[in-house]
Amino acid sequence: MPYWYFFCGADPHRVSRASLAEIREKWLKAPLMTWWLTCYGWQTRSRQSSKGRKISCCRSRIISRCGIHRTETNLKVDGPRQPVIPILVIACNRVTVRRCLDKLLQHRPSAELHPIIVSQDCGHAETAEHKKFQGYYKISRHYRWALNQVFKTLSHTSVVIVEDDLEVAPDFFEYFRALLPLLKSDTNLWCVSAWNDNGRDGYVDPGQTNLLYRTDFFPGLGWMLLKDVWEELEPKWPAAFWDDWMRQPEQRRDRACIRPEISRTLTFGRQGVSLGQFYDKYLRYIKLNTKFVPFTKLDLSYLKEETYRKLFEKEVYSAPVVTYEVVKQGQLKGPGPFRLQYSTKDSFKVLAKNLGIMDDLKSGVPRTGYRGVVSFISRGQRVYLAPPPGWTQYDTSWS
């Protein structure tokens, strides 16, 4: 039976940096078990309110017995009530979680609006029996348990999930706060992700830090989920390979996610379950945004499905068609964008691989793809790798 630890409501003016460091050290050195830390207090910015907040800590097998069970999904902070969006950190390696937490705490604008929950679990007898894939089984089991705690026990209505080897951008919290209303109102969306699978330096436009897309591919790696979607997924949650399972048509159900041009997360861990050579070839070169974008002050209505689809398809299919050789040799003429067409699974994979973008497909959906179209930058020019005009649906045999 796991134990849950909470650190909640610490007053940044009364708890010294040394005390916070001591709390972290105790957790990092603790015996291997499942932990929960609701970090309302790991916040040292002077602008945070200090009224009536004290540090408390408790351990229990039932969360409500701790006396700190927060059911508020909205808080009034200097104006209208604002939604509380907790950050769930799925942790295994306590060495990497230190870096992950430090960045989250550095960029977090409000401890009340963004409680940080850390769930740590690396040992489980049943999943350990699946020796070849035991890491995948552990992670899937852990996700299910942790998300149930967030939604069922703590009664939150949304959550942003990060793993312990992710570093976040300065506008990470701003990004998710701005997109929560759209995620709630658009039934054809089912997640918001901070990740661009093709977001390597040289493949994104550094001048368009505010550019966002719809994508049919579930990106993960820092993503927001709503309670009602979890209630749909939880009864059939898989024993392993949860992210690929999310990409199956039965789960996606023609819904899209929002993703950025420039990633708001960066993975720094090479030792994860599915990294190694993949990390060395792709992930280490992902560009992390460093410029704060005030997303909550921007008009994001262009991301609504009907509006976005019309604008996106008009831009893609009005772009001049070019050949692979012209793109590869950097001979594109004009301001762009340009369209490079594929018509078969093999032609897509060859073009993608030779151009340096991700070439894998999940049930026919390419990474970052929207209606079969993959957007990327080649030598400073926008290129759309696209199916022929009139595209209607994905071929699920393309995998």
Q: Dump pLDDT digits (tens) for 196-235.
A: 999 999 999 999 999 999 999 999 999 999 999 999 999 9
- Which amino acid makes up residue 195? W
Residue 241 CB coordination number (10 Å): 16
Residue 276's pLDDT is 57
- Cα 312 to chain centroid distance, Å, stands at 23
Give the pLDDT band of residue 268 (cuts 50, 70, 90): confident
- Range from 35-39, 332-336, 379-383 carrying the lowest mean pLDDT: 35-39
**Domain 1-9+82-291 sits in CATH 3.30.2130.10:** no
Bridge partner list, 6: 58
Distance in angstroms (rounded) separating the CA atoms of residues 107 and 137: 32
Domain positions in the chain: 1-9+82-291, 319-398
Tell me the pTM.
0.82
Mapped onto helix, strand or coil, the DSSP state of residue 181 is: helix
- Mean pLDDT estimate for the chain: 81
Nearest to 45 by CA among 20, 69, 27: 20
Looking at domain 319-398, its CATH class is: alpha beta
> Confidence band (pLDDT; 50, 70, 90) for 138?
confident
Six token digits for residue 171: 């506008």
- Closest-CA residue to 393 (of 368, 365, 362): 365
Residues marked as catalytic? 243
Going by their DSSP bridges, the two strands 223-226 and 4-8 should be labelled as unpaired
Q: Residue 135: what pLDDT? A: 56
* Range with lowest mean pLDDT among 82-91, 274-283, 372-381: 274-283
